[in-house]
């Protein structure tokens, strides 16, 4: 009888080689390992591409916000500039029907802060303003910003696609930002909150020479109710700076809306343009009135009665009568004479120069310390 070997005979061929390795407890061949590695690398490549695409998309969405926040600069104590480089969705704001503080906060939250409430609050400024020309024939728009409490002054340079570049001035205390408030203006949070700035403008001038400011009237809030779309005063300021080159254009735009005043008091708008014309626009019983004037303070001009209505109004009128063509320095002297110091304070004073699209600003009645700014400073 033949002896039978207990070890199975080796199987030949590729299949046999695999079975022999399996039987011998050996690992897969290098060829198989290379195939697994290639598959793993492909999967990781796809994942990395998806992550890169997501990062690029996020960067595109956030870039304007990041660039805007990074541009905040301190000019001097209490004066700051920001170069606004994010789309602030003006068309949507005009369609939104913003008629009060709650609507404004809701819009800003949805469009500029991804649904996170910003808590902005715009109080009516009191103020004095006048429009005149210098001995050289240059028109200048001059204003005192009088407010309750302290605030920094943030000069916002906007240059929207399809609109006019402009400077506007914002009181960041409305955002709980600034010295003596929750967040310093140049802090990370302060910079981010300033993304709401375009819709908090109290005054400004665009590159076409149109200037506009908000001044309060001692009367209840104005909330008309017609079939026209709603717009709030500070949104009106944004619209005019971005889209109006002349007073006629500004008046036509305002006439299309139910104009709602800021919280607390009624207000009117003092507007000038590069032609040398200046007017006050105010509303009575939903009717818009346009009054030709070169001085504006805090009472209605529609009645035509101006005598002894306001000390500051009379003071500016008298000084312009004595010096109808003041230099910019002399214009600041007129503003100084119209400052207030009691429960309402003159926080900043400005002289706008439409001819070269520049602005002079004084903070806190420090009239010996004038800062001159052009678009190159942003």
DSSP 70: H
How are beta strands 153-158 and 79-84 bridged, if at all?
parallel
Burial of 334 (0-12, 13-18, 19+ CB in 10 A): buried
Q: Quick one: tokens of 24? A: 């011998």
Instruction: State the Cα–Cα distance between residues 350 and 344, nearest whole angstrom.
Output: 17
Catalogue all structural domains in the chain, each as residue range(s) with its CATH number.
Answer: 71-377 (3.60.60.10)
pLDDT score for 29: 62
- Which pTM does this prediction carry? 0.84
pLDDT score for 5: 47
Instruction: State the Cα–Cα distance between residues 139 and 277, nearest whole angstrom.
Output: 10
Q: Quick one: tokens of 376? A: 């190159």
Buried b (16+ CB within 10 A) or exposed e, 44-60: eeeeeeeeeeeeeeeee
Instruction: State the Cα–Cα distance between residues 69 and 154, nearest whole angstrom.
Output: 13
Count Cβ atoms below 10 Å from residue 164 Cβ, excluding itself. Answer: 19
First to last CA, the chain: 106
Per-residue pLDDT of the chain (378 residues; tens, 9 = 90+): 444 444 444 445 555 555 554 555 555 566 666 777 777 677 777 777 777 766 666 666 678 999 999 999 999 989 999 999 999 999 999 999 999 999 999 999 999 986 665 666 667 788 999 999 999 999 999 999 999 888 999 999 999 999 999 999 999 999 999 988 889 999 999 999 999 999 999 999 999 999 999 999 988 899 999 999 999 999 999 999 999 999 999 999 999 999 999 888 899 999 999 999 999 999 988 899 999 999 999 999 998 999 889 999 999 999 999 999 999 999 999 999 999 988 889 999 999 999 999 999 999 999 999 999 999 999
Distance of CA 362 to the CA centre of its chain: 21
> In the block, which residue shows the tokens 């017609």?
226
């Amino acid at each position: 009888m033949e002896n039978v070997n207990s070890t199975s005979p080796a199987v030949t061929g590729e299949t046999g080689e695999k079975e022999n390795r399996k039987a011998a407890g050996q690992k897969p061949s290098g060829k198989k390992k290379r195939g697994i590695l290639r598959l793993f690398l492909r999967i990781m490549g796809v994942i990395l591409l998806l992550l890169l695409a997501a990062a690029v998309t996020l960067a595109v969405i956030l870039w304007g916000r990041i660039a805007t926040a990074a541009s905040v600069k301190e000019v001097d104590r209490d004066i700051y500039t920001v170069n606004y480089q994010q789309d602030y969705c003006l068309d949507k704001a005009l369609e939104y029907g913003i008629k009060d503080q709650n609507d404004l906060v809701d819009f800003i939250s949805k469009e500029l802060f991804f649904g996170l409430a910003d808590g902005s609050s715009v109080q009516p400024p009191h103020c004095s303003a006048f429009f005149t020309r210098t001995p050289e024939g240059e028109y200048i728009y001059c204003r005192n910003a009088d407010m309750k409490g302290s605030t920094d002054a943030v000069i916002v340079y906007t240059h929207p696609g399809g609109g006019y570049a402009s400077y506007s001035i914002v009181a960041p205390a409305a955002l709980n930002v600034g010295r003596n408030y929750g967040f310093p203006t140049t802090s990370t949070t302060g910079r981010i909150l300033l993304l709401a700035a375009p819709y908090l403008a109290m005054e400004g001038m665009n590159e076409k020479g149109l200037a506009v400011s908000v001044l309060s009237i001692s009367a209840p809030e104005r909330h008309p109710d017609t079939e026209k779309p709603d717009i709030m005063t500070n949104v009106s300021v944004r619209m005019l700076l971005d889209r109006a080159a002349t007073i006629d254009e500004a008046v036509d735009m305002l006439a299309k809306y139910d104009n709602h005043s800021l919280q607390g008091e009624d207000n009117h708008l003092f507007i000038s343009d590069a032609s040398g014309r200046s007017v006050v626009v105010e509303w009575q019983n939903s009717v818009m009135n346009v009054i030709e004037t070169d001085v504006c303070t805090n009472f209605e001009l529609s009645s035509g009665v101006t005598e002894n209505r306001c000390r500051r109004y009379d003071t500016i009128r008298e000084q312009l009568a004595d010096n109808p063509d003041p230099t910019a320095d002399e214009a600041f002297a007129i503003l100084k004479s119209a400052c207030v110091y009691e429960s309402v304070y003159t926080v900043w004073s400005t002289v706008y120069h439409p001819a070269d699209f520049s602005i002079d600003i004084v903070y806190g009645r420090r009239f010996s310390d004038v800062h001159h700014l052009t678009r190159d400073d942003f």
